[in-house]
Amino acid sequence: MKNFSYKQAAGRKIAIFALATLSFFTSAGSLTARGDKCVRQRAPMTVKEYVAEYGREAQRQQKKYGIPASITLAQGLLESGNGSSYLAVVANNHFGIKAYRDWAGPVVRCDDDAKREPFCKFASVEKGYEYHSLFLRNNPRYNPLFKLDVTDYVGWAEGLKRCGYATSRSYAKDLIRIIETNHLDVYDVQSSNHVERPHKVYLTSRKRGLHYIRCQAGDDLAYISKEFDISRRKLRIWNDLPKKYQLKEGEIIYLERKNSKAAKEHRTHVVKAGESLQAISQMYGIRLKSLMKRNRLESGRVQTGQVLKLR
């Protein structure tokens, strides 16, 4: 049995460096640094380190402007090479933001689409995050994105590509991969009134007991996955849950694979009104397929009063 103490999702280095290409730039502002190329300046942080450093700022931006924190973090990770790029180190610019006509501050120069292009230099990373949020919020091109749910990171990723934020054909897929690989969507849930409270882990019985938790208000599989370092796919399979299933408060979620039969003290179950076969399988810690096979059921439908064999 693995240790079920709270863990942050394991970070991994992302060796991708892609700057968002945006039009209408000028060389306004004083030249504060020079660079012929936007080369890496230092070893990248891990994703865990980057999120620990800037996660709260991304959440603050979500609350203030309505941009998913997961999207902000994924863009920052992708475009700054996990905080290691020339622009990130020299200019606190984690989003590859070029100097536009309305930019009157300092700039740094490096090669991108053309030689020695001007990019915004910010006084702090937080200032860069703020400018990035304001650019999206105030640009009519991105208005359709703000009609999406703040937790719809897939819609946001695809929308950014569709609205012309980046020229890379794989930009949306790259963002989604970073978010899902590192469970960054949990930060959207937390900044949307989800209170972070560790779950109490229970054991069904002493012999062949299964570890499980009871869902709290606002829980989803992404949050549980991050807390116990178990993939969402495993949690879905172990609990016989369909994709996009909405967890309910008080519902049992097993943290390991269920058994093929119930404990000795539970031999049969009489189906009550409103009970589903999946709910019964959770009640006794039995795999849904095993329960169906044991009772020769071809579908998951059961009737009130039906007697089911549990072992």
The pLDDT, as a whole number, for residue 191 is 54
The pLDDT, as a whole number, for residue 16 is 30
The pLDDT, as a whole number, for residue 127 is 93
The pLDDT, as a whole number, for residue 234 is 92
Encode the chain in three state secondary structure. CCCCCCCCCCCCCCCCCCCCCCCCECCCCCEEEEEEECCCCCCCCCHHHHHHHHHHHHHHHHHHHCCCHHHHHHHHHHHHCCCCCHHHHHHCCCCCCECECCCCCCEEEEECCCCCEEEECCCCHHHHHHHHHHHHHHCHHHHHHHHCCCCCHHHHHHHHHHCCCCCCCCHHHHHHHHHHHCCCCHHHHHCCCCCCCCCCCEECCCCCCCEEEECCCCCCHHHHHHHHCCCHHHHHHHCCCCCCCCCCCCCEEECCCCECCCCCCCCEEECCCCCCHHHHHHHHCECHHHHHHHCCCCCCCCCCCCEEECC
Low-confidence ranges of the chain (pLDDT < 50): 1-36, 193-195
- pTM, to two decimals: 0.53
